[in-house]
Amino acid sequence: MSTVVRLDDAVVTAGRFPVLTGLTLTARAGECLVLEGPNGAGKTSALRLIGGLESLARGSGEVCGIDLRRGDRREIRRHCGWLGHEGSFYDDLTVRENLTFAARAGGFDIAGLATSVEAVGLSQRLDVRAALLSAGQRRRLGIAWLVMRRPSIWLLDEPIAALDTSARIFLQGILEDALAKGVCVILSAHDNTMELRAPVSRLTIVGGRIEMGESS
């Protein structure tokens, strides 16, 4: 499996406050990397750094072969997809309009919309505004957005927060499918109860750096 993400002693600051204080990790294609840790540990900041949304203050790193310090961060973002627990789309647009916008913006074939909606089980809710969807359905819409874009790295920020058991099992299936296709999944969790049938590495972040890690 090829390495798609490499961080070496990465430091990220918010103003003068360091949120990552020397993070070192690697993630490979087809592998799920789980970042665990308490609130405020730096999990979301790590995801944002990998997604090209934060700049490196110190250290080095590469995402899909693009240098985090000198490379084009906009190009890094094109390789990544984001799913947050708070919703990753426009509440005032319908499911169809949200996905059509994502497809057209990314230059994807609009024909993929039906497949991705079918995959996440939102076919009956196509013309419903995102604001009116339940928490589980909103997460499914975010996943449909990812499935349609097919980025090589999925960055999931607390993806199982507020999901019931059936929704967690559903998300697990989608992730296993993506991993089998060679997607690199990096997710943050403070109480991860998902058991993926795929290579999983777990890293515990405390105070902006790795405290311990294990692979399975």
Question: Which spans of this chain sit near another protein (rule: CB under 8 A)?
Answer: 48, 51-53, 73-75, 77-78, 80-90, 92-93, 97, 101-102, 104-106, 129, 142, 145, 149, 151, 157
Nearer to another protein, 145 or 170 (CB): 145
Compute the least distance from the CB of residue 123 to another protein, in Å.
Answer: 22
Compute the least distance from the CB of residue 176 to another protein, in Å.
Answer: 22
- What's the DSSP call for residue 162? T
Compute the least distance from the CB of residue 104 to another protein, in Å.
Answer: 5
Helices (H), the chain: 43-50, 73-78, 95-105, 112-120, 135-149, 165-180
Question: Residue 176 burial (CB < 10 Å; 0-12/13-18/19+)?
Answer: middle
* Amino acid at position 172, single letter: Q
Nearer to another protein, 103 or 200 (CB): 103
Nearer to another protein, 59 or 142 (CB): 142
| DSSP secondary structure string for all residues of 3-34 | EEEEEEEEEEEETTEEEEEEEEEEEETT-EEE
Compute the least distance from the CB of residue 69 to another protein, in Å.
Answer: 14
